[in-house]
Amino acid sequence: MIEVPVALGERAYRVMVGAGARHDLAALVASAVPAARRAAIVTQAGIGVPVDPGLPADEFTVPDGEGAKSLSVVEDLCRGFARAGLSRSDVVVAVGGGVVTDVAGFAAATFHRGTAYVNVATTLLGQVDAAIGGKTGVNIPEGKNLVGAFWQPGGVICDTEVLSTLPPREWASGRGEMAKYAFLGRSPGAGRDPDASLLDLPLAEQVATCVRIKADVVAADEREGDRRMILNYGHTLAHALEAAAFEPGAGLDLRHGEAVAIGLVYAALLARRLGRIDDHRVELHRRVVSGFDLSASVPGRVEPERLVSFMARDKKARHDLTFVLDGPDGVEVTHGVDEADVLATLAEMQGWQPGGSR
């Protein structure tokens, strides 16, 4: 078993990574939430990963898909917690992928103004990224993850054994986030370019490597003052594409990590347009994304101006267009990007023209 600490002082917790890690849930709950006398298990119908929190428990299921990340689902959960008699000293256990950990974590953050929760991540995306760091939230029609709270879990379990049943596109989604960490895990001047060598490690080490990178960033900037925003590398366009996919007739079918892969290449093209990186660095982004067996092509047609409107609402934005971009000092937050450059880069990437023609 690999244990990765998330060093947050009094809110510090452990991420446990390895085959069979879910069987240590009861011990983790007893250690992290010793006053708990009851648990609420939040999951989805198709997850099929039984867990034992070591306490009497009620199970709550949320709908499948990104549509579960809504305020109405959070209300349903909180009402269910109340009917089950869950107290402020008890614990919520989220069992599932990023959708489940996001919505269950937000429900826990708001129920009794803050109830402890523990994540049991069952997808690669959840294990390498979504379940760690305490960012919880839901979507609204105006954008993705615009309503939420910072609420750290009491612990996280990443059981790599349960990943064996994941369908191919869920693996691809997780690898999109892993590709992001290929750029965040190396400092400028380290003497080695980002690559897909992470995939050469045993699965538990792949997960633990990503967790360590994220844990270090979160420990340095828990509430996303600036440094933590680099964890959103590739996400500005990704979130815009995901928001656009919710609209009627969009015709977009993208998992989160697939959208991030597209966003990584887009961010590289934008950085080159702004003079931050050169052609070699753009090609490196394409090679890394390809090395993780991902595509940088948008599977459908989206109005460029519509994407820009979603980007302007991104949670990193400060009344401007804000991106996380590569540069001479590595990946960093860049505020005040000109809309003309954003649109021109969309055109460069996919052959879009102003007005949406293609």
**Are 22 and 90 found together in one domain?**
yes
Query: In total, how many domains does the chain have?
Result: 2
Among the candidates 165, 198, 228, a domain finishes at 165
Whether residue 121 lies inside any domain: the answer is yes
Which residue, 176, 161, 35, 32, is CA-closest to 98?
A: 176
Q: What is the pTM of this model?
A: 0.91
Predicted confidence (pLDDT) at residue 27 exceeds the cutoff of 70: yes
**Are 37 and 151 found together in one domain?**
yes
Q: What is the pLDDT of residue 301?
A: 74
Whether residue 216 lies inside any domain: the answer is yes
CA distance 204 to 157: 12
**Are 67 and 208 found together in one domain?**
no
- CATH number of the domain that 325 lies in? 1.20.1090.10
Q: What is the pLDDT of residue 320?
A: 86
Task: Return the top range by mean pLDDT from 139-153, 182-196, 236-250.
Answer: 139-153
pLDDT band at 87 (very low <50, low <70, confident <90, very high): very high
Handedness of CA 125, 126, 130, 136 (dihedral sign): positive
Residues, the chain: 358
* Average pLDDT of the residues of the chain: 92
Give yes or no for a contact between 108 and 134, defined as CB atoms under 8 angstroms apart: no
Whether residue 356 lies inside any domain: the answer is no
Among the candidates 126, 150, 165, a domain finishes at 165
Residue percentage of the chain with pLDDT more than 70: 94
Whether residue 19 lies inside any domain: the answer is yes
Q: What is the pLDDT of residue 356?
A: 39
**Are 176 and 149 found together in one domain?**
no
CA distance 323 to 237: 9
**Per-residue pLDDT tens for 256-267?**
999 999 999 999
**Per-residue pLDDT tens for 320-355?**
899 999 999 999 999 999 999 999 999 888 754 343
Question: For the chain, what is the radius of gyration of the CA atoms?
Answer: 20
CA distance 242 to 231: 17
**Are 278 and 224 found together in one domain?**
yes
H-run or E-run covering 280: helix 279-291
Q: What is the pLDDT of residue 187?
A: 60
**Are 256 and 119 found together in one domain?**
no
- CATH number of the domain that 57 lies in? 3.40.50.1970
- Looking at per-residue confidence, does 350 or 91 come out higher? 91
Phi, psi of 51 (to 5 degrees): -135, 155
Among the candidates 115, 130, 165, a domain finishes at 165
Question: In this structure, are strands 91-96 and 39-44 parallel, antiparallel, or unpaired?
Answer: parallel
pLDDT band at 358 (very low <50, low <70, confident <90, very high): very low
Whether residue 152 lies inside any domain: the answer is yes
**Are 108 and 197 found together in one domain?**
no
Predicted confidence (pLDDT) at residue 319 exceeds the cutoff of 80: no
pLDDT band at 247 (very low <50, low <70, confident <90, very high): confident
Predicted confidence (pLDDT) at residue 8 exceeds the cutoff of 50: yes
**Are 137 and 271 found together in one domain?**
no
- For residue 157, CA distances in Å to 115, 278, 294 come to 18, 40, 27
**Are 129 and 49 found together in one domain?**
yes
Average the pLDDT over 267-271 and give the result.
Answer: 98
**Are 228 and 205 found together in one domain?**
yes
Q: Which domain holds residue 277?
A: 168-350
| Residue 307: other Cβ atoms inside 10 A | 23
**Per-residue pLDDT tens for 130-161?**
999 999 999 998 888 999 999 999 999 999 99
- Looking at per-residue confidence, does 186 or 183 come out higher? 183
Report the greatest alpha carbon distance in the chain: 60
Catalytic annotation, residues: 113, 135, 177, 214, 224, 228, 232, 235, 239, 256
Whether residue 355 lies inside any domain: the answer is no
